[in-house]
Amino acid sequence: MAINLETPKKFGMLISQAHQVSTEIFRPISRKYDRAEHEYPKELDMLASLIDGMNASGETNTGARGVRRKEGNGGNQNGSNMSGVLSVMEACWGDVAMVLSMPRQGLGNAAIASVANDEQLARFDKLWASMAITEPGFGSDSAAVTTTAVLDGDHYVLNGEKIFVTAGGRSDAVVVWASLDKSLGRAAIKSFVVEKGTPGMVVERLEHKLGIRASDTATIRFTDCRVPKENLLGSPEIEVEQGFAGVMQTFDNTRPLVAGMAVGCARAALDETEDLLKQAGVEVDYDKPAYVQHAAAATYLQMEADWEAAYLLMMEATWMADNNKPNSLQASMAKAKAGRACVDITLRCVELAGAFGYSENSLLEKWARDSKILDIFEGTQQIQQLIVARRLLNKNSAELK
């Protein structure tokens, strides 16, 4: 399997545009909305319309929408997954919370793109969709869903509570994970598109958070919430032998995207720190061994190597998705490495910058706060390591917990 992990030239303009957005839109308002938690950045509306137009052209997939896998193999491709990951990486160089606040770029949109049928794709195309998986009784163990969906005529009746729903207060709809039959375990877990305004669906509160403060994070309760049966994503049949591979397929697309967010945030911290080191008279020399350089330069080189590893794993997982190759292992490896690297790099950059990095005079302290969520959501660091171990050892969830 030959993979070229160089940045595809055809995405050069897309990356340049995303960088311009980061520089001219995200960075200037980043601190403002970090302080004004839960206030929607109205500047994003015009940008969202522009992105919708770019996506409608069919040439690229921008933002965090995720993509639909195509049947067949026409040779090596750098397609929609790659364009999405590269654009979100560059956008998160500007601000992670702004990216998570972009209309119609939610992780629920990635779920719809991954598993919806053609009719559903057309019907939900203009929706801004959040993802609702986590519940008060569990975090990363997606198989522990207790929210229920009971078929009643032409509707499913949903009951349960979801927490930590990113953009849950602002989005047009929520992709809700619920069980059709708890006695059948994870095989009965399906995802449903529940549009805002549906009776029985209530946004109960918004969380106050360490980072990504410009992005709202909601708790949503469903009480006898009637959802049209046509809103179930994928097959309504419960296939015990297959498990819930259908809904889990979403993560194969979204985890590389989250890795891209982490890689972008870490790159921002590295670029800022390099400028600060130059101002302090410390030059990073890539042609000399780290041990003969200034201690700060040696630390910087270590962080660069860590970043490069995360970047390459992200690119591998994304390339595999574009080429219809199973990438569950690689997606988890990319997410685990990038999430950890981003936290380590941003905190070490704060340390290298000293009091300046710890103050609000720089965005370094904000990036350090924002970085932690990238190691948590879409499956924590520990869960990713568990998935990787299961894949490498060829063991299932019952054999390796």
Please give the positions annotated as active site.
378
What CA–CA distance (Å, rounded) separates 261 from 352?
22
Q: DSSP letter string over 99-131?
A: HHTSTT-SHHHHHHHHH--HHHHHHTTT--EEE
Cβ atoms of 135 and 160 closer than 8 Å = yes
What CA–CA distance (Å, rounded) separates 52 from 284?
41
The count of C-alpha atoms lying within 13 angstroms of the C-alpha of 47, restricted to the half-sphere facing its C-beta, is 21
CA angle 279–290–347, rounded 5-degree value: 60
Residue from 185, 188, 118 nearest 156 by CA? 188
Residue 378: exposed, middle, or buried by beta-carbon count in 10 A (0-12, 13-18, 19+)?
Answer: buried
Q: DSSP letter string over 350-369?
A: HHHHTHHHHSTTSSHHHHHH
Cβ atoms of 286 and 305 closer than 8 Å = no
* 3-class DSSP assignment, residue 76: coil
Q: Count other Cβ atoms within 10 Å, centred on residue 299.
A: 19
